[in-house]
Structure 1
Amino acid sequence: MKHVDIYTDGACSGNPGPGGWAAVLIYNNIKKEISGYEKDTTNNRMELLAPIKALSILNQPCDVNIYTDSAYVFNAFDKAWLQKWQKNGWKTSSKQPVQNKELWEQLITFANIHNIKWIKVKGHSDNEINNRCDELARNAISENKKDG
């Protein structure tokens, strides 16, 4: 099985507000950068969209390391929040509906295709590729805000 490293980040100017997501995919020392924009969104949605968009371009099942600085995304897998939410009918521990359910369902679909290992990195720190993702996500916002 092919191995791919994916670094992801999301950003929002206001929360909610204009948002950007970005990912850097690395396969055999080849880097591919992707990013996108949403006019009215939240930071959490952008943090979720980044790995979704990255995983969606893989054309076969892969071993994937996903590096994220989002505790929201990382903990959902690492602390089994997703399994608890599904078991509770997509309700949180406080009995509230889980936000971004449709995006979580997309990530679950990809997790069933790929062998994913989630790795938490410190945001805005010394991880060069994570910092590049942050830059790409913020650029997606600033470039699109200029266009209206």
Structure 2
Amino acid sequence: MQNKIQLYTDGSSRGNPGPGGYGALLLFGDHRKELSQGFRRTTNNRMELLAVIAGLEAIKKNELPVTVFSDSQYVVNSVEKGWLKTWIKTDFKGGKKNKDLWKNYYELSKKFTVNFVWVKGHANNPFNNRCDELATAAADGKHLLVDVGYEEAAN
């Protein structure tokens, strides 16, 4: 049995901002779970990050390590290069975007051992491609939610 969880993620936005969605695919041993949701007005970066959050929230076994595969350099570099730690320490000084989601991710990540791997988007990775399909279908869906964090910040 595999001893770590793989989480593939992707976000999509039809316009930036515009309708958007995320897709996430969790793999653990023989288990596979797909997640997606669409929002009426958001950004691509928010959906990339929300895919990671949704995937982590769906994990029931906090003691297992999680490898997140993302085609978002914004998400991967923010965590792996330590930018997020600096943003947290300075309370996102300078107007760093997506504070609500980053704080959510940061608190959630304390439950896990998480590492990120960047994968090339729209390439030959079937799991990343599936997440792209989920994200774009969610963005194009009819029952779009309100991205409260985005819409409050935009007003």
Scaled by the length of structure 1, what TM-score is found? Answer: 0.90
Partner of 1:67: 69
- What are the ranges of 5 or more consecutive residues in structure 1 without an aligned counterpart? none
SS at match of 2:121: coil
Alpha-carbon distance in 2 for matches of 1:132, 1:110: 24
CA RMSD of aligned residues (A): 1.7
- Identity in percent: 41
Q: Distance in 1 between matches of 2:27 and 2:143?
A: 29
Distance (Å, rounded) in 2 between the aligned partners of 1:54 and 1:145? 20
Looking at structure 2, the residues matched to 86 and 140 of structure 1 have their Cα atoms a distance apart, in angstroms, of 30
Q: Which residue of 2 aligns with 1:85?
A: 87
Q: Which runs of 4+ in 1 moved over 3 A?
A: none
Letter in 1 for 2:116: W
Distance of 2:91 and 2:25 partners within structure 1: 33
Answer yes or no: is 1:100 the counterpart of 2:124: no
Residue aligning to 2:128: 130
Contact 2:38/2:141, CA 8 A, preserved across alignment: no
Report Cα offsets for 1:33-87 as digits up to 9, x if no partner: 1100110000011001001011111123121000000011000011110112123
TM-superposed deviation, 1:140: 0.8
Between the aligned partners of 2:6 and 2:143, the Cα distance in structure 1 is: 30
1:18, 1:145 within 8 Å by CA — same for their partners in 2?
no
The match for 1:43 is 44
Which runs of no fewer than 5 residues in structure 2 stay unpaired? Answer: 145-155
Aligned residues: 142
* Equivalent in the alignment of 1:54: 55
